[in-house]
A and B are shown apart, each in its own frame.
Chain A
Amino acid sequence: MNAVEVNGLSKSYSGYKMNDISFPVPRGYITGLIGPNGAGKSTIIKAIMGMVVPDEGTITVLGQNAGAMEGMYKQEIGYISDENIFYEYMSLEQMKRIIAPFYTKWDEDLYLKYMDLFELPSRKKIKDCSKGMKTKYSIALALSHHPSLLIMDEPTAGLDPVFRRELLDLLAEYILEEENTILFSTHLTTDLDRVADYVTFVNRGRLIFSDNKDEVLERYIIIKGGKELLDGDIRKEMIGLRETEVGFEGLSGNRDQAKTLFGEKVIYQAPTLEDIMYFTAKGGKQHA
């Protein structure tokens, strides 16, 4: 069963169009939603959370219809925004007092445990908290009502490396519970290299792929070789290409076909998610 199913999601703004996005978020796994800035990651997450009204398409969360006019499905979601959405002038304790009654499974002991773990002072005003503290607080709130789906929009952006590691460890601990699922949008793909099971990649409002991370990394390949090898057909085979004075570096989406084309004349290298994102976003004809 999938925790989230996005089907045919389309949304247009002035100067931006998201077209027919469909992908599943498998239950019990961590799915990373990647793409460069402006690719449409936040729009997808906001559509799942009912903040953005799609022009077309449907979304289901844990078998329930999701979207702008629905509400109850969010009982099962712990949402962490990329920016502070809480009332800045309130203390952490006051904000918790507002949020807690909305959730039927609110666990005060668990909340206090996270506040203690993250060393968050209850009386401190939100506006006086650092970016890291605000993210920790969002996580404490999000986890304290026992959600079975955690949705995070760029949670690691702006965090120091120490807390980023701690956060990833926390997510790994959360996902140990069999029924729990995480959807995690980021442009910092190194985070996903560590923890993600599935990856959904969007670029310029289009879905590039949505698949098991290991299979994606096995399918793509980086090719490095001399310029003399490049001709029209070869260029067409490349998803993205970076040319220098002495040679080229490119990404192919078909490992077997690339090896048939180039044989032993080039160097092959396993790509990272960042490589795939970079070459796909930039496309061909990149000169260094």
Chain B
Amino acid sequence: MPKVICLIRKDLILIQRYLWLILIYAFVFSGFIQSNDSTLLYGLLPGLLLILAIGSDMRLPQQQFLVSLPVKRNYLVFSKYASSFIFLVLGIAVCLIMNVITDMVDYGVLKVNAPLVLGTFVSMMVFMSIYLPLYYWLGIKGAQYLNIVMMVIIMVGNGAISSLLGSEDMSRSLEWVSAHAWAAGILTASATALVVFISYMISLAIFRKKDL
């Protein structure tokens, strides 16, 4: 089995202990109890999943364990990004499924709020790109504070982005985006990929020199 796959598999095994927490959270903040398209669901669940997945390896002994395996350090960093991406997609997928189910129950129609899903995906990719280098840099002690700060940023940021999207200036920009959907899509995807790549290089540079 390729080593990166083994590492991702390891992250999937580690997250299993949080499965009930994630499902309860997804239900409580879904349209069954909150309003549909709740920012507490879309905004927090993928981020929560990401933090839980990454946090499993945060302690020094676990980092020592990972480095003791027959795997290069750059694979360890790469796999963390790959796992984070998978958890992020899974988190958004859970939100989407919950919303589709509640819409079907409440209105009998199947609708997907594409801008919200895409917006959440892009903002979570940026969040991941900021979080991972800080995680490698600060280690467990700093990361305890980092998690709190990041969760606040997700909540506040989500609200700020929502109000920004609702503003008049932004509506003109969104009209331009709608008119040039492909160009906007490619631009956003390229910018996101660039941010993730830079983030990966920074994380790798930090972890290469780290004593465990």
Residues on A close to B: CB < 8 A?
46, 49-53, 68-75, 77, 79, 81, 83-87, 89, 94, 97-99, 101-103
Contact = CB atoms under 8 A, between A and B. Distances in A.
Interface in B73-104: 73-75
A209 to B, nearest CB: 27
Contacts of B73: 50, 68-69, 71
Interface in B1-29: 1, 3, 6, 9-10, 13-14, 17
A85 B62 contact: yes
B162 interface: no
Interface of B: 1, 3, 6, 9-10, 13-14, 17, 56, 61-62, 64-65, 67-75, 208-212
Contacts of A49: 67-68
Contact of A101 (B9, B62, B65, B210): B9
B12 to A, nearest CB: 10
A154 to B, nearest CB: 14
A74 B62 contact: no
A71 B75 contact: yes
6 contacts: A46-B64, A51-B68, A68-B67, A97-B13, A98-B9, A102-B71
A76 to B, nearest CB: 8
Main secondary structure of the interface of B (DSSP, over half): helix
A85 B210 contact: no
Contact of A75 (B56, B70, B74, B212): B70
Contacts of B211: 46, 51-53
Contacts of A79: 68
Main secondary structure of the interface of A (DSSP, over half): loop
B67 A51 contact: yes
Contact of A86 (B65, B67, B75): B65
Contacts of A69: 72-74, 208
Contacts of B3: 71, 102
A53 B70 contact: no
Given A69-B74, A83-B61, A87-B56, A53 B210 contact: yes
A58 to B, nearest CB: 17
B72 A98 contact: no
A87 B13 CA distance: 11
A51 B67 CA distance: 6
Contacts of B75: 71
Given A69-B208, A74-B70, 9 more contacts: A49-B67, A51-B64, A51-B212, A68-B67, A69-B74, A71-B75, A74-B68, A98-B13, A102-B69
